[in-house]
Structures are given as C-alpha cells and as structure tokens.
Structure 1
Amino acid sequence: MASGLTLEELGEGLGTASTVLRGNAGSAGLDAPVPTCPSWTVLDLVAHQGMVHRWATSHVRGAPETDPLRFEAEGRAAADVLGWFDEGATALLQALFDAPDDLVARTFLRDAPAPRLFWTRRQCFETTVHAVDAMAARLGRAPLPDETWLRPRLATDGIDELLTGFVPRDKQGVQPERATRLLVRPDDAALAWLLDLAPDRPASTTRLTGADAVATDADVVWAGGAVELFLRLWSRTGAEPADALEGWWRETVSVTWG
C-alpha cells in the first residue's frame, strides 16, 4: 500500500528531522548520553544515523553498499562529525530528488510502496525517531509529545509503516506468550490498526477506517493522540507502560532493518 503522505511531504519530513537531529545533537554535545537509547552517546547516535543515510543513498543510486558499518567508522573518525552528518543527509535528499518515479531498488518491508517512495518514507521515519533521541539527549529525558515538532498526519503514517511494514515480518519475532488482539487507535486520525498477535506465528495487521476502527473487538486498546502513540510504539517515551502488553512490547519490538 502507498504511504498516506506524498513523496514531497515525506521528503520534507526527512529534511526537517535531519535538521532537528543535527541541532539537538550540537546542543547536547557529542559525549552526552541518549536516555532513549541506553548505552549510546550522541556521537554513537550521529554516527549511526549518518551511516544509515549513506547506506540508503547507495541503494537509491543503484550501487548498494555491502559493508555499511564502514560509514559509521568514517563518521566516528571525522574531524567534524556534525558536518559529516549534514553531508550525508544532503546527499540522500539529492539522490531521492534525482531518482525516477520508476526507480528499481530493493525494498524490505511488508506491503511496501514503490522503491522511490519506500526509501523516502523509510528514511523519513528512521531519521524522525533518531531526531527524538537527539532531543532526549538535550533534555536529559524523553520528550513529551507536545515538545516535539511532530504533527498527527506525519505520526499516523509513521505508525502505519511500523505496524504494517515491520511488525508482520517473520524476522521481527513479535510473538507474545498469549494470543492477543491489540487495537491501536489514534484519537486524531481516521485510521486504526488491529494486530493479531500469537505465540506460534508472525503478527498480522489489519488497517481499519470509519466505524470499524471504533467497533472492533480487541483484548487491548491503545488510544491517544497520533504523536503520543507514535512515540509509545517506538518506545520513545518516559511514561510507564499502560499495561503488561506495552511492557512486553518495549522489551521485544525493535526494528531489524535490511
């Protein structure tokens, strides 16, 4: 399924997130800890995101890098790591701008849109999540939803990518001990998601709209603003888990990219 956002909106989201990440990283300092990524410093965060940008660019440019960790080493060794980050973000945006609509490139999520849109969307939300991490480093805690730059429309599409693209993949291993039907329902969006979770098979996700999003029978419902839910689903929140399932989610659900 195509993204709910246009290519232009996702490109703008990627550019904004890159700017937010860079600005907060500079304010926090490279040695600052990242509360939302335990054991990471800001240097680790910037080197990681700069690596991912360069790895993505290599796919969009048609020459996939087989050893992306070399980019991370390059970033760590850079005399100006924030300048190095800027160069990578700019190169990625340029590659996506230059790419044809019928770009032929690898995609790796369930229900993925066409490659050009896929890579723009994936890097928009990859960078958005890590920009939240950079904010956390500056603040010394996870930011509250209204402290971020995120808006419901962008957050809703980010939730959709996570729940329909990542979570159902076999390699994610999103399999609780007990079968559970989880409904994720933003208060400020026209879309909801029903997750069928079981211990013996990969998760499945159904998009719901209209009355179905309200009337659906579920064992657990996570509701709230789209930005709040985006942060909760990505475990970028300082709030206590709302229930046992959310505690399990935070321990279990992490993105395996590639």
Structure 2
Amino acid sequence: MEHETYLAHIAEQSDALRAAAGKAGPDAQVPTCPQWTVHDLVSHIGGVHALVCAALERKPEDTRPKLPVPPTAWEDLLTWWDEQRSTMVERLHDDPAKRVWSFLPELGSVGWWARRQAHETSIHRLDAEHAVNNAVPTLLFDSEHAADGIDEIVVTISPFMVKRRPPEIDGTLLVHAADAGRAWLLKAEGGKVTAGPVPDAGTDADANLVGTADAVYRAAWKRPSTAIYTGNPELRHTINGG
C-alpha cells in the first residue's frame, strides 16, 4: 500500500482504539491479552508509539532508544499517548525511504515504521474492542489492509521472531486469504523459517490456514477468528513464533 494509506490507517485505527478504551474503562480485562487490563493496553501502545518517535530520529547504527515510563493516572496516560501518537505521525510524514533505527536493522526506514504501526495499532484496536463488555467486535478490516498485514507478519515478522523460539518441527504451512486472492508459504527447516508469497493457493503443504483476509489476519496474530486451520497443529507456531 502507499505510504499515505498507512498513515491514514494509523490515524483511523488509533482513534478507534482510544474510543473503545474509553468506553471499556481502564480496569476492564482484555480477553485477547489475558494478563492485561485496558490500562495496560494503552500503556503498551503509548510505549510503542514513544519508541517509534525516538526511532525516527535515530540512525540505523544507533542503540535502541530508552523509553519514558508512562503515567499511571488514567487521564494523564491518555493525554501522554495522544502526544506520542501525534508526534509519531508528524515524524512519519518524512521521506518513506529515509533509513532510521529499527529492531530489524536491515529493514528500518520511515516507510517500514509506518507499515508496522498501521498493523500494530489495528490489532490493538481489535483488543480494545474485545474489552468493551467482553464482546465480540463487529468491526471488519478491509481485505487490502488485512492482506497487507498478513504479508507483513508472514514474510517479515515471523522469520525474525522464531529466532527467539526456534520451531522443533520441519514442514510447510500454506496461508491463504481467499477474498484477497493471495497466498503465502512458510517453510520450517532446521530451526529456521523462510516465507514468501506463492502464486497458487493449491500449493501442497503440511498444514493450511484459510479464510477471508480479515479472518486470517486475526488468526495470524493469535486473535479469535473464523479462519480454518488444518494439518499439523505444531506448524501454526511458525507464524509470529508464538
């Protein structure tokens, strides 16, 4: 997607996240993140946005930014997060190709961070919606945005994350977002994972994750979903390394 589209998604999803967080209240439990309250969720997303603010002012070779401690009082926390995300979006209006610090040094750029935050904020918006009266959200991510999010987690995030928890099984997992007409294949071998798009959703694999782009997007991030998983259950852990 275009850089401006990512920025629009960040604004839309963060506004919706804030609205849902306010409706749920700071003490509400987040069913999709069982250890968190909504207060914890807002502290997390505010901290992430503070990290990005700092990253966008650093060079790729610089050290990881040290982050401020979020405020404890609920209204102060909301105000602080508003400041972080406003500054982040302002800095993301830079040249998308500009190289900056990232936890993936070879990929760090303004454009990469815009994409990462479009999906970070979208998934946590979903968490906030789940926290409102412990309800199942009615929101639907459009297929282009969801498919882009699947591509990011499958191709970019998962191979990095599995380094922390290498898979103990070899095999292949086909991920298919049917309505978007896109498919990806993850291959686990020797404790490593490689992944990329494939042109044919009929590619043979040891396991399959299939559904609408919206459903697969949620499933890839371990959120409740209507996507269908078949085959070796252990291969599911190759997505995001979780």
TM-score by length of 1: 0.82
- Looking at structure 1, the residues matched to 179 and 225 of structure 2 have their Cα atoms a distance apart, in angstroms, of 22
For the pair 1:173 / 2:153, whether they are aligned, the reply is no
- Looking at structure 2, the residues matched to 233 and 221 of structure 1 have their Cα atoms a distance apart, in angstroms, of 12
User: Per-residue CA shift, 1:114-147, capped at 9, x if unaligned?
Assistant: 611101001111111111110110141453xxx2
Determine the structure 2 residue equivalent to 1:202.
192
Offset of residue 214 of structure 1 = 2.6
Q: How does 1:101-250 map to 2 (within 5 A)?
A: 101-109=96-104, 112=107, 115-143=109-137, 147-169=138-160, 171-175=163-167, 177-198=168-189, 200-209=190-199, 213-237=200-224, 242-243=229-230, 245-246=232-233, 249=236
SS of the residue aligned with 2:186? strand
SS of the residue aligned with 1:236? coil
- Looking at structure 2, the residues matched to 208 and 250 of structure 1 have their Cα atoms a distance apart, in angstroms, of 20
Offset of residue 202 of structure 1 = 1.0
Q: Give 1:164's aligned amino acid.
A: V
- Sort the Cα spacing of 1:102 and 1:235 in 2 relative to 1 into closer, same or farther, 3 A: closer
Determine the structure 2 residue equivalent to 1:48.
44
User: Per-residue CA shift, 1:167-215, capped at 9, x if unaligned?
Assistant: 112524351x4322110011112321011123x2211102112xxx233
Offset of residue 110 of structure 1 = 8.9
- Sort the Cα spacing of 1:234 and 1:101 in 2 relative to 1 into closer, same or farther, 3 A: closer
Q: Give 1:125's aligned amino acid.
A: H
Determine the structure 1 residue equivalent to 2:66.
67
Aligned 8 A contact 1:103 1:115 in 2: yes
Offset of residue 249 of structure 1 = 3.5
User: Per-residue CA shift, 1:34-90, capped at 9, x if unaligned?
Assistant: 00001100000001100100110111123876322x3xx323246432222222111
Aligned 8 A contact 1:36 1:141 in 2: no
Offset of residue 222 of structure 1 = 1.3
- Sort the Cα spacing of 1:241 and 1:33 in 2 relative to 1 into closer, same or farther, 3 A: farther
Aligned 8 A contact 1:51 1:75 in 2: no
- Sort the Cα spacing of 1:46 and 1:244 in 2 relative to 1 into closer, same or farther, 3 A: farther
TM-score by length of 2: 0.87
User: Per-residue CA shift, 1:90-131, capped at 9, x if unaligned?
Assistant: 11111111x23442202344984x611101001111111111
Q: Give 1:160's aligned amino acid.
A: D
Q: Give 1:118's aligned amino acid.
A: W
- Sort the Cα spacing of 1:65 and 1:215 in 2 relative to 1 into closer, same or farther, 3 A: closer
Offset of residue 218 of structure 1 = 0.9
Name stretches of at least 5 consecutive residues in structure 1 with no aligned partner: none
- Looking at structure 1, the residues matched to 230 and 173 of structure 2 have their Cα atoms a distance apart, in angstroms, of 12
Identity of aligned residues (%): 30
- Looking at structure 2, the residues matched to 102 and 195 of structure 1 have their Cα atoms a distance apart, in angstroms, of 27
Determine the structure 2 residue equivalent to 1:39.
35
SS of the residue aligned with 1:80? helix
Number of residues of Structure 1 aligned to a counterpart in Structure 2: 238
SS of the residue aligned with 2:163? helix
- Looking at structure 2, the residues matched to 253 and 102 of structure 1 have their Cα atoms a distance apart, in angstroms, of 25
- Looking at structure 2, the residues matched to 246 and 9 of structure 1 have their Cα atoms a distance apart, in angstroms, of 35
- Looking at structure 1, the residues matched to 237 and 132 of structure 2 have their Cα atoms a distance apart, in angstroms, of 22
- Looking at structure 2, the residues matched to 214 and 251 of structure 1 have their Cα atoms a distance apart, in angstroms, of 18
- Sort the Cα spacing of 1:251 and 1:65 in 2 relative to 1 into closer, same or farther, 3 A: closer
Name stretches of at least 5 consecutive residues in structure 2 with no aligned partner: none
Offset of residue 252 of structure 1 = 8.2
SS of the residue aligned with 2:45? helix
